[in-house]
Amino acid sequence: MLLKLSKKVRLDNTVRPIHLPSSEMHINDNQQCHVAGWGYTRTGGEAVDDLRVVDVSIINPQVCKREWGGLPANVICAGGYGTNKGFCQGDSGGPLVCNGIAVGVMSFNKYQNCNYPDVPNVYTDISKYLVWINSVIGHLPHRPHIIKITQYPMVCVIEP
């Protein structure tokens, strides 16, 4: 979802711009990235009041597809899969950030299990939607001065 704001966002230490990926983006297997959210910290738990951030490793796409029994081409897998790191219910829609670039949006895990089951966590790959993002921007009455995704939580913002 792209949100068009009526006025500029005031940047400070809690709201910062973040780059979108390029369509040629390549993420390496085992690359360390960050994920953040206010979701549960365990299966059946409760949401937290303070933002949690954790490092997760990118998982090879072929391994991910094999473990899930098939996935579409528009996903990135990271975290979960036998680790104690990943996302949980309430975190969906949050960012997967690699090298300061918002590369993914938290999508789903297995059976709403936050105990990091035998399959990776799955994120929507933002680079696969750049044509759509640019199409939406192109139909605006005035070209935006800036596009940014604010970190934690991630919202794509088009400023006037």
The ranges assigned to domains in the chain are 2-159
Does pLDDT of 151 surpass 50? no
Q: Which residue has the higher pLDDT, 98 or 19?
A: 98
pLDDT digits (tens, 9 = 90+) for 36-55: 888 888 888 888 888 888 89
pLDDT digits (tens, 9 = 90+) for 54-86: 899 999 999 999 999 889 889 999 988 878 788
Does pLDDT of 147 surpass 70? no
Model confidence at 96, pLDDT cuts 50, 70, 90, reads very high
Does pLDDT of 154 surpass 50? no
Does pLDDT of 139 surpass 70? no
Q: Which residue has the higher pLDDT, 90 or 32?
A: 32
Distance CA 142, CA 147 (A): 13
Question: What would the CATH number be for the domain defined by 2-159?
Answer: 2.40.10.10
pTM for the predicted model, two decimal places: 0.81
Distance CA 72, CA 80 (A): 18
Average pLDDT taken over every residue of the chain: 80
pLDDT the model gives residue 15: 77
What's the DSSP call for residue 110?
A: S
Burial class of residue 65 in the structure, from the number of CB atoms within 10 Å of its CB (0-12 exposed, 13-18 middle, 19+ buried)? middle
Secondary structure element (H or E) that encloses residue 156, with its range? strand 155-159
Model confidence at 93, pLDDT cuts 50, 70, 90, reads confident
- C-beta of residue 101 within 8 angstroms of C-beta of residue 18: yes
